[in-house]
Amino acid sequence: MATVMSNGHDTKFRSADAAEKRRLLHHDADVVIVGAGILGCALAVTLGRQGRSVLLLEKSMKEPDRIVGELLQPGGVQALEQLGLADCLEGIDAIPVEGYYVSYFNSPVQVPYPKLTPSSPSPLGRSFHHGRFVMNLRNAALACPNVSVVETKVIDLITCSHTQQVLGVECVTNDLKDCYFGHLTVVADGYASKFRKTYHPRTPKVRSKFWGLELIDTKLPMPHHGHVLLSDNAPILLYQIGTHETRILVDIPENTPSASVENGGVKGYLRTITLPSLPESVRPAFLAALEQGPLRCMPNSYLPSSSSTNKTPGMVILGDALNMRHPLTGGGMTVAFNDVVILKDLLSPQQVPNLADTDRVLRQLSTFHWQRKNGSSVINILAQALYALFAANDVNLRALQRGCFRYFELGMTDGPCGLLAGLIKSPSVLFFHFFNVAFLALWLVIREGPIYKLPFLLIRAMIVFWTACVVIFPYMLIEAFC
């Protein structure tokens, strides 16, 4: 028997009561959600509040202890507000985030989140302990009378052999097999999804890993800001996640020679390469954390969604299982919450009276695929393109990296930062700023040498421009048309 988490509600509605009985006794609901993470919880609450009967299945209800999902962009905060879940940010010692502090070979520039109109308040993001935030989201689901949360490990999808329709899931709890059925099964089991293989045409590409440490009582150069440190090496992120705790994430690309076993491995890299590049004020806490551990790591994946993904009746893949981008820009949770905002409307009882109507659901999911692009593709392209520039490993990418930093120095921060924050959902704005950066990078290359070198510099500038196109167009195409 699976462990059912009680939600202690008052049983006012007889039909809601009968639905709960059907969930708990017959394991049958309108919606079965696999994974009570960022996306699963928000979707469960949203659909439950619309009167749907929801089963939310999670393999471990213990507080997650992970180095992911710790900085929520202002666009994600807004989406949480639209979902009526903003109070999940309370009571977890969350730190307000006002923007970024970008340092390029130790010269810094401030990149504040832009106000969308002069009179509106400054947008704020939040950074926090991931596990505490997830526990608040889970508690919101537990407090929802139309949602039953069950601690169980899903091991397979149950499909109808004639129609291929997904009917529900098979799970294991305490070595006992069990099944749950729903008109719609939502796969939201995260970055290492076990269930996307057969249904998603793409596989995640991993170019680097983030190595994380927790620093205690360290002083950042600019409190209430995400810190991005750029140099000849891959980027480093620093942000406070609680009154006393600061996260550092160090990006190390696959096959980095200075992190090879002969060179002392990752610990050697962190000691000889990372430590000297940190602000003085951060070094003591970093050394202490390095000595004490634990040192943890996560793969940084890119997984574009595809128009052929959610075409199976009775099922939808969402969250990281569907779509990932490099976490440099902290966009994953914002994309997930925005997706729930879109589905709140597209799957509402007004639009889809009965979720058993799989044709109708599939039509809505096709609309969802294209509608979510405005927001998600901007965040995805920006994350991948910025990572290419910030982890620059050749002279042309370095020229673009320099162009990007000078662009910020010139005060051109509102557009790029608004895109990153999830506040501006317009691919054309991204395109505009990216090529402004590219042209600035060209100009800086041309001005590098004396006039008699001009022919040579012009050729170099053309190669830099070509590099910019190679960085962005593949992502633009795949995000816009697939």
Ligand X SMILES: *[C@@H]1O[C@H](CO)[C@@H](O)[C@H](O)[C@H]1NC(C)=O
Ligand Y SMILES: Cc1cc2nc3c(=O)[nH]c(=O)nc-3n(C[C@H](O)[C@H](O)[C@H](O)COP(=O)(O)OP(=O)(O)OC[C@H]3O[C@@H](n4cnc5c(N)ncnc54)[C@H](O)[C@@H]3O)c2cc1C
Closer residue to ligand Y in complex, CB, 337/405: 337
In the list ligand X, ligand Y, none, the entry touching 2 (Cβ below 5 to 8 angstroms by class) is none
Task: Provide the CB-side half-sphere exposure for 36 (13 A, CA).
Answer: 32
Q: Are 57 and 152 in contact (CB under 8 A)?
A: yes
Residue 168 as a binder of ligand Y (CB under 6 A): the answer is: no
Closer residue to ligand Y in complex, CB, 73/467: 73
In the list ligand X, ligand Y, none, the entry touching 376 (Cβ below 5 to 8 angstroms by class) is none
| Cα–Cα dist 286/219, whole Å | 11
Residue 190 as a binder of ligand Y (CB under 6 A): the answer is: yes
Residue 360 as a binder of ligand Y (CB under 6 A): the answer is: no
In the list ligand X, ligand Y, none, the entry touching 19 (Cβ below 5 to 8 angstroms by class) is ligand X
CB of 9 to ligand X, least distance (A): 8
Among 34, 85, 137, 141, binds ligand Y (CB under 6 A): 34
In the list ligand X, ligand Y, none, the entry touching 16 (Cβ below 5 to 8 angstroms by class) is ligand X
Residues 275-304 that bind ligand Y (CB under 6 A): 298, 300
| Cα–Cα dist 78/86, whole Å | 8
Residue 37 as a binder of ligand Y (CB under 6 A): the answer is: yes
Per DSSP, 324 falls in state B
Tokens matching residue 206: 């991993």
The dihedral sign for the CA sequence 23, 29, 33, 37 = negative
Closer residue to ligand Y in complex, CB, 40/145: 40
In the list ligand X, ligand Y, none, the entry touching 60 (Cβ below 5 to 8 angstroms by class) is ligand Y
**Following CA atoms 250, 253, 255, 257 in sequence, which dihedral angle do they give, to the nearest 10 degrees?**
-60
In the list ligand Y, ligand X, none, the entry touching 15 (Cβ below 5 to 8 angstroms by class) is ligand X
Residue 69 as a binder of ligand Y (CB under 6 A): the answer is: yes
CB of 266 to ligand Y, least distance (A): 14
- Angle made by CA atoms 215, 109, 412, in degrees to the nearest 5: 135
In the list ligand X, ligand Y, none, the entry touching 146 (Cβ below 5 to 8 angstroms by class) is ligand X
In the list ligand X, ligand Y, none, the entry touching 28 (Cβ below 5 to 8 angstroms by class) is none
Phi-psi region of 71 (alpha: psi -120 to 50; beta: other; left: phi over 0): beta
| Cα–Cα dist 228/239, whole Å | 9
Q: Considering CB under 6 A, how many residues would be counted as binding ligand Y?
A: 36
Site string for ligand Y, 199-228 (x = CB under 6 A): -----------x------------------
Tell me the residue number closest to ligand Y, measured at CB.
Answer: 37
Q: Give the interface with ligand X as residue ranges (CB under 6 A).
A: 13, 15-16, 19, 48-49, 51, 145-146
Residues 413-442 that bind ligand Y (CB under 6 A): none
Closer residue to ligand X in complex, CB, 20/178: 20
Among 38, 85, 270, 352, binds ligand Y (CB under 6 A): 38
339 Cβ contact list (under 8 Å, min separation 6): 39, 318, 319, 368, 372, 376
Residue 332 as a binder of ligand Y (CB under 6 A): the answer is: yes
Of the candidate spans 58-66, 282-290, 361-369, 433-441, the one that interacts with ligand Y by CB under 6 A turns out to be 58-66
Residue 113 as a binder of ligand Y (CB under 6 A): the answer is: no
| Neighbour-count burial for 210-219, b at 16+ CB within 10 Å, e otherwise | bbbbbbeebe
CB of 54 to ligand X, least distance (A): 10
In the list ligand Y, ligand X, none, the entry touching 154 (Cβ below 5 to 8 angstroms by class) is ligand Y
CB of 179 to ligand X, least distance (A): 23
Residues linked to residue 205 through DSSP beta bridges, in sequence order: 302
Amino acid in the structure at residue 428: S
Task: Provide the CB-side half-sphere exposure for 164 (13 A, CA).
Answer: 6
| Cα–Cα dist 187/165, whole Å | 14
Q: What SS3 class is residue 218?
A: coil
Amino acid in the structure at residue 101: Y
Closer residue to ligand Y in complex, CB, 169/399: 169
| Cα–Cα dist 404/416, whole Å | 10
**What kind and span of H or E run contains 136?**
helix 130-142
Q: Are 362 and 199 in contact (CB under 8 A)?
A: no
Cis peptide before 294 (omega within 30 of 0): yes
Residues 143-162 that bind ligand Y (CB under 6 A): 153-154
Of the candidate spans 102-110, 278-286, 329-337, 338-346, the one that interacts with ligand Y by CB under 6 A turns out to be 329-337
CB of 48 to ligand X, least distance (A): 6
CB of 339 to ligand Y, least distance (A): 9
174 Cβ contact list (under 8 Å, min separation 6): none
- Cα 303 to Cα 133, 300, 307, 363, distances in angstroms: 25, 10, 13, 23
**Helix 427-446 to helix 454-481 angle, to the nearest 10 degrees?**
170
Where does this chain bind ligand Y (CB under 6 A)? Answer: 34-40, 57-60, 67-72, 153-154, 188-190, 194, 210, 298, 300, 319-321, 327, 330-334, 336
